[in-house]
Amino acid sequence: MAYDLLIKNGRVVDGSGAPAFHADVAVQDGKIVGVGKANGAAAKRTIDAAGRVVAPGFIDHHTHFDPQAVWDPYCGSWLHNGHTTVIVGQCGQVIAPVRPGDGEWYLEFFSDAEQIPLPVLKAGVDVTWESVGEYLDALGKKRGINVGTLVGHSGIRRYVMGDASSERVKATDDEIATMQRLIRDAMHDGALGFSTAPKDRGDPAGHCDDDERWALASVLGDLGTGVFQVAGGAPGGTKQTRAVARELAARTGRPSIYNLMSDPISNPDEWVEHLKWLEDGFNSGARCYGSCLSTVAGAIFNLERGLNVPQDEDITDPQGFFRGMPTWDRVMALPYQDRMRAFRDPEIRKAMSAEAVEGTVAQEGGVTDRRGRSRGLFNRRWDLIEVFMTAKGQNRHLAGKSIEQIAKEQNKGIMDAFLDLSLDEDLQTCFQMVDRNNDPKTQKHILGSQFTVIGTSDGGGRPHTADRHETSTQLLGHWVREQQALTLEEAVYRLTGKTALMHDITDRGFIAAGKIADITIFDPDTIAPKAREPVASLPGGGIEVKREAEGIDHVIVNGTVLLDNGVLTDALPGQIVRGPLYQAGTN
């Protein structure tokens, strides 16, 4: 008998965190059937992986592909970055369960929460399901990569309480019982856990009191399976979010994940206390993990629409960067073409530089978050304002460089370098004001901590910027190869086996006989993200950002080669990843 696929001569990093070893991997009927030296074995197809790492397919534990996965079997560029599975249903935000006729509310809610244009959602999603199980069945009809889901608190509350879910704090006993039943049903339909948000976040999940949150969480404790996820963005900040996450874990014995363990530039020592808090929680018996990023983070903006574009992570309203600087206030209020002319005027540039670079003119006002709360004054750190994405291909080499660096390379002043690039691209250049995760020494502690999980890509959200395609490739290229913050084996474990174990996914996440053949083959010496590229590929011509990768040769999903020598095939081998309570044919 010939194997369906034989991967030979690879360096196997099996997802367990154990040292790598050289072996061949044999695949038959979608499963790994052997890991060893298959000398002389026949196969319908053989891949020579000499000089390459053979790893489990990466699992992205935090995405918002809930709607996009309906129309897009490959979930943007996530496959190109080595992901074979994405998990949706995060932050309490879901599009199931849905009462018949109420689908538009869910699409509007998702559009607002994740900054996805509503016309795109309406063009791409026909809400034909009611239960979580029916939603998963709909997703499973056309899958490229695998999808699993959590059941979300906001969706459950809306289904049971209707408009009152956003108005009334206290649910009745009957409403609580109905929500508990829906969560239990969803878990038996294959959901992997339950997501919620802290009080006062502004959505139905944040509108209730903690008594409801603990009552709903008890379902997972009773069932003995499932993970909790707690959203950020509440007025109490990370401390409020993590307090909820720890309490969920302590009450139920189940693991929890919260957003976000980071390294804020404005409070550079905070991470020390934060990691100690995580360790203390584990010492007390609560499995509460902080989710962290392998990328820098911060507000993304351009000058085309003023500084009023959707912001990242609820932290900063880009409109507020230069608010209170008189010349900036006047220029940014001008119509588009008049603003372009003003940016070219040398005297105006000189005044803008005095306000935003030299600081010789005081700023009155300051940066605010999306809810209008003050975040302080613009820090004039042009070494932290980076080119995020360029509109023209000839400028792509500038991506990731700071304005300060570009100014030095071009022998220009800061303001000239900033405005010249913007004008060259009709003000469509996207910049990022980096406010977190920029210190390599600190990131080594955060990424390497056993109390954190690496992810929170938010895939599918903010498609016009899609700022975290590179969760995997940035980790393996920058942090492993260049910074040596983690070993290769530890990084792969964090992207695969650890995530699978936390979510009770028992059939994948490891290179081992009997496991599903989700496999990523990459070159550890070259793996890295490519530049971002905006493409009009969403329904109705909506813009999403594509970001492919260097050094990923093959991605295999359920035994089928889906990315072949870096080229996407048209295969649809993806499956719905369901939790251990699911029994096919009985749900």
Of 517, 519, 581, 579, nearest in space to 553 by CA: 519
Class (C level, CATH) for 58-295+438-539+549-568: alpha beta
Q: pLDDT digit string (tens) for 96-139?
A: 999 999 999 999 999 988 989 999 999 999 999 999 999 999 99
Residue 237 three-state SS: helix
Burial class of residue 134, CB neighbours in 10 A (0-12, 13-18, 19+): middle
Buried b (16+ CB within 10 A) or exposed e, 242-277: bbbbbbbbbbbebbbbbbbbbbbbeeeeebeebbeb
Tell me what pLDDT residue 308 has: 41
Residue 456's region, left for phi above 0, alpha for psi from -120 to 50, else beta, is left
Cα 99 → chain centroid: 28
C-alpha to C-alpha distance for 191 and 550, rounded to whole angstroms: 33
Residue 242 φ/ψ, nearest 5 degrees: -70, -30
Residue 570, H or E segment: none
C-alpha to C-alpha distance for 104 and 114, rounded to whole angstroms: 15
Buried b (16+ CB within 10 A) or exposed e, 205-225: bbbbeeebbebbbebbbebeb
Angle subtended by helix axes 210-223 and 237-252, to nearest 10: 40
Of 33, 61, 43, nearest in space to 4 by CA: 43
Q: pLDDT digit string (tens) for 363-395?
A: 877 666 555 656 667 889 999 999 999 999 999
C-alpha to C-alpha distance for 11 and 21, rounded to whole angstroms: 6
Q: Where are the alpha helices (DSSP H) in 449-570?
A: 471-474, 488-495, 497-502
Tell me what pLDDT residue 254 has: 98
Low-confidence ranges of the chain (pLDDT < 50): 306-318
C-alpha to C-alpha distance for 394 and 495, rounded to whole angstroms: 33
Tell me what pLDDT residue 309 has: 43
Tell me what pLDDT residue 212 has: 98
Residue 550: both structure tokens together: 């260097």
Quick check: 57 and 557 in contact, CB under 8 A? yes
What residue segments make up the domains of the chain, in order of their start? 58-295+438-539+549-568, 298-434
* AA letter at 86: V
C-alpha to C-alpha distance for 487 and 424, rounded to whole angstroms: 42
Residue 145: both structure tokens together: 């990569």
Tell me what pLDDT residue 453 has: 97
Quick check: 49 and 63 in contact, CB under 8 A? no
C-alpha to C-alpha distance for 80 and 530, rounded to whole angstroms: 10
